[in-house]
Chain A
Amino acid sequence: MKILVCVKQVLDLEEETDFHIDDSGQSMVFDGPPVYQLNRFDDCAIEEALLIKKAHTETLIDVITVGPERADAVLRRAMGMGVDNGIHIMTSGEEIPNSFQIATWIGEYSKEQKYDLIFTGVMSEDEMQGQVGPMLAEVLGMPCATSVIKETMMEGNDKIRVEREIEGGYRDVLELLMPAVLTIQTGINQPRYPSLSNVLRAKKTEVNVIPSTTIAIPDKRQTIAKLNYPQKTRSAIRLEGSRRGKAEALLRIFKEKSIL
């Protein structure tokens, strides 16, 4: 069996490197060196593929990313976790491709690869669109299930049973004919850390680098007109002073409001 996992390198939003919008209003400027990491949702997608490989040892797992040079780090991380091969569709880094472009590029590459399963995270932490998976499924003519919280390979390895997380605490149970695309929701597993032996192997393994310019560049279909800061929807009063002072002020406010 052959599995492709699509991953993305995203800004580590837990890091407190601040960023602001530049004068053009169209791009972000960082006040310090930005820290990047593997999209958390994709981390779960990789783990899910590795769990399948554990049960079906003949499985081969490829990981693919679209991004500038620095995105190589997420491929190495995936390989450190146990993924077999890395494919990097290298962009110039000047323009951020959108979901449609990324799906088209990955689709062009994977058309000839005969994957049985393609996994992505349910969304990226930075853009939060969740579109690459379902769009890629269309490029390849595969069925797709999003927000997958459980999957089980059926006997014969030609069907996969999935549970999609839907609203109100329900799960939609489906059976998809393979090859299929699944977008993986967090909580489905606890992703492993890269192992030392795999990390060493990953360092030596060559990644298949494909410059995005060698694949037909799809129309953007949409543009980013402007970036702006979210508006405050409430008073957002900041308590000032020492930690003790803030704690005392908060208690006072709760007392005034008869909460305490």
Chain B
Amino acid sequence: MNPSILVVIEHKNGEILPAAWEAVACANEISFSQPAEIKLVILGNDVESLAQKTAWTTGIDIIAIETFEQQTYNSEVYKSSLAEVLKERPFSYLCVPGSTQGNDFAPGLSMRLGTSCIAGVEKVIPGENGIGFLRSINGGKINTEIQSETASTIILVQPGSYKPQQIIGTTRGNIDRVTVDFSDHRIKNLSIQKTPGDNSVITDAPIIISAGRGIGDEENLELIKRFSMIFPKSAIGGSRPLCDLGWLENSQQIGITGATVDPELYIACGISGATQHTMGMKGAGFIVSINSDPFAAIFNISDLCIVEDLNEFLAEFIDVCEDASKTG
């Protein structure tokens, strides 16, 4: 039997987050190519009840790491605790949700353990020469398959790439309890604050007109607004760069660092289609993309593709609608 495949379970308020079950799904996919036992690692303050509940419902063995003092996520505590515990527990792969938490501690942890760390993994590719881990590069235009050359490997699982796989077991999993005492003094957690803004306007809208850098200038937002008026019940969203520029409100941002939406219709206007954006909208019912770049990555996940200069096409479409209503 190969060394275990471990999954770091991200949890909040005593609940396991969907991203953790996505990482479990990735671990399962690895185990098809390289059979090994999967174990879940639960780390935090007062984790006993969560560990017990999870071991009972899933039937999977748990490594429960009790951190006592540390109430909320702290990268130093995570790295120190996991490095100490994992040094004595051989693993082939450690799957970590590629959340803002996983991305924060996993690369550093790999340095402490001397393993490789592959970020943004979307798929496991079995191969004769070992397992390849698929990740997206160059704004989603190309995928690369990375192979690890170290005995143990940390995999950061790209959020949204896997369906969360909640496992229901018939037997009870065992719990390996470890207590660590790393109170860190280099990073002090002060508070967690809510960023002002309400994104329910875009998360609730059945139609989203979404703008990306392809709109060119801020004044072209006017055209996006006129275009959106054609669609009753539509809302305007956009990619991160437009929010960073202040052209759109942060609450209008769609993607990994913004809202995840699944409207009936999504019209991507001048959006290139990098993973950071598509992970927040690929579940939409019908996707229409307009982009002047015929190779834009957004087209791969679209139902309808229109290769045109965005602003000229929107103006043309508005014109066609006006003509249609006249003759209508």
Contact = CB atoms under 8 A, between A and B. Distances in A.
Interface string A208-220: 0000000000011
Given A187-B244, A250-B306, A174 B187 contact: yes
Interface in B93-145: 99-101, 103-108, 110-112, 115-120, 127, 129-130, 132, 135-145
A116 interface: no
Nearest to B301: A233
Nearest to B185: A177
Contact of B193 (A173, A175, A186, A234): A173
Majority secondary structure of chain B interface residues (helix, strand, loop or mixed) = mixed
Interface residues of A, number: 82
Contact of B75 (A99, A100, A145, A186): A145
B313 A243 contact: yes
A112 interface: no
Interface in B297-325: 297, 299-308, 312-313, 316-317, 319-321, 324
A138 B109 CA distance: 8
Contacts of B189: 172-174
A260 to B, nearest CB: 7
Interface string B183-226: 00111111111110101000000010000010000000000000
A21 B142 CA distance: 9
B316 A239 contact: no
Interface stretch (A82-90, A127-135, A193-201): A127-135
A232 B308 CA distance: 20
Nearest to B214: A14
A236 B144 contact: no
28 contacts: A13-B139, A100-B111, A100-B117, A125-B139, A128-B137, A130-B107, A131-B119, A143-B76, A163-B193, A165-B100, A172-B192, A173-B191, A190-B246, A220-B149, A222-B150, A222-B153, A223-B146, A226-B132, A228-B142, A228-B144, A228-B145, A230-B142, A230-B297, A236-B303, A238-B299, A247-B316, A247-B319, A259-B231
Interface of A: 11, 13-14, 16, 18-19, 21, 28, 40, 99-100, 103, 125-131, 133-135, 137-139, 143-147, 161, 163-167, 169-177, 180, 185-187, 190, 219-239, 243-244, 246-248, 250-251, 253, 257, 259-260
